[in-house]
Amino acid sequence: MPGTHGLTLTAHIRNTQSLHPEARGELSALLTQVGVAGKMISSKVNMAGLLGVLGSTGKINVQGEIVQKLDEMAEDVMQDIVGGSGLVCAMLSEERKDILEIETGGRYVIAYDPLDGSSNIDANVSIGTIFSIFRKLSPGTEVTRADTMQKGCEQVAAGYILYGSSTVFVYTAGEGVHGFTLDPSVGEYILSHPDIRLDGKCKCFSINQCNAPYWDAWVHDWIARVMERNDADKRRISGRHIGSLVADFHRNLIYGGVFAYPTDARSPKGKLRLMYEASPLAFIAEQAGGYASDGRISILDLEPEELHHRTGLIIGNRPEVELAEDCVGRASI
Ligand code: AHM
Ligand code: MG
């Protein structure tokens, strides 16, 4: 029983594991290690201004984006803490060109964005670490393409750590979505958001409106149809867009809402990455009762074609995402 002092993340993960007598405890240990990495990144993010680690490194990453000093720091922490855990055989990072194979081996593969939203770092905007965990499928120690290029529906766990007004760890291992808030005084994540649901009203609408000149016609059609819910009597849905996916997603998960970064003329394949951003958040959205699509099919059914596969993303309350699919379908008739 949680008692009055709350349930820690470690205890919650163990309790979930105990529902599966066949489990060896390795996934639980891995999730716990990701939580530890999150604490370390959180402490550096909170101290960034004092440690002199704000600003860019002057480098450009594999995505063609400016690498912030904190991006590098978060990547190092993930490699040291998660890579050094003995639990993963391969690490796929938004910040690294190639797959990092771990010699000590392990039964899991992890894909992650070490610091999503990092272009906002210097302005103290919420940012976060997003992760996605798969089982190693092939026997033996060799890491194969089948191990690393799995569809989102094969994920065994996914989550994110949001460095915001407080640090929050949200995860799913296929049995609902649970959120924990870091109590910095004791260094533990405490259950604060049990069984989060995304099946109520869609109150927030998140999109970078300045991409409007590049959108396909269906996006304009979709927005107009969503906005029809606002009438003279009542505003039922309101614009909320941070420009930090993990923070936009978290707010929409808590309040109800939909986030969209569709493919457009500037980014014909989409801007966001399937493996590190879209797929883990899609797993969480579906576990909470929501949905994620590229406009045509579920994100979780997309076959990764390459490590840094990009995709359009519409994610949040199911009716609004399905309405987007309907608009895409009509546009292609
Ligand atoms: P990042 O992983 O380098 O931070 O890039 C992803 C970010 C998302 O967090 C955010 O939704 C998007 O890029 C914002 O892009 P834009 O500035 O084009 O709206
Ligand atoms: Mg990102």
Question: Does the C-beta of 209 come closer than 6 Å to ligand 1?
Answer: no
For residues 269 and 147, the answer to whether their CB atoms sit within 8 Å is: no
* Sequence-distant (≥ 6) Cβ neighbours of residue 317 within 8 angstroms: 198, 199, 200, 201, 202, 256, 257, 258, 290, 291
Can you give the pLDDT of all 333 residues of the chain as single tens digits?
456 678 999 999 988 877 777 778 899 999 999 999 999 999 999 887 777 778 788 888 887 888 888 999 999 999 999 999 999 999 999 999 999 999 988 999 999 999 999 888 888 899 999 999 999 999 988 999 999 999 999 999 999 999 999 999 999 999 999 999 999 999 999 999 999 999 999 999 999 999 999 999 999 999 999 999 999 889 999 999 999 999 999 999 999 999 999 999 999 999 999 999 999 999 999 999 999 999 999 999 999 999 999 999 999 999 999 999 999 998 887
- From 62, 258, 272, 274, the mutation candidate for ligand 1 (largest count of ligand atoms within 8 A of CB) is 272
Give, in words, the CATH class of 204-332.
alpha beta
> Which residue bears the tokens 């190092």?
76
What kind of architecture, by CATH, is found in domain 9-193? 2-Layer Sandwich (3.30)
Q: What CA–CA distance (Å, rounded) separates 312 from 297?
A: 11
**DSSP bridge partners of 91:** 100, 110
pTM: 0.95
Q: Supply the DSSP string of 163-212, one letter for each residue.
A: ESSSEEEEEESSS-EEEEEEETTTTEEEEEETT----S---EEEE-GGGG
User: pLDDT at position 232, please?
Assistant: 87
Candidate of 72, 119, 162 to mutate for ligand 1, largest count of ligand atoms within 8 Å of Cβ: 119
Ligand 1: does its nearest atom lie under 6 Å from the Cβ of 245?
A: yes
Cα–Cα distance, 138 to 136 (Å, whole number): 6
271 lines ligand 1 (CB under 6 A): yes
Separation of CA 277 and ligand 2 centre (Å): 6
| Residue 232 one-letter amino acid | A
The residue ranges of every structural domain in the chain are 9-193, 204-332
Residue owning tokens 């309405």: 323
Cα 125 to averaged position of ligand 1 atoms, centre (Å): 12
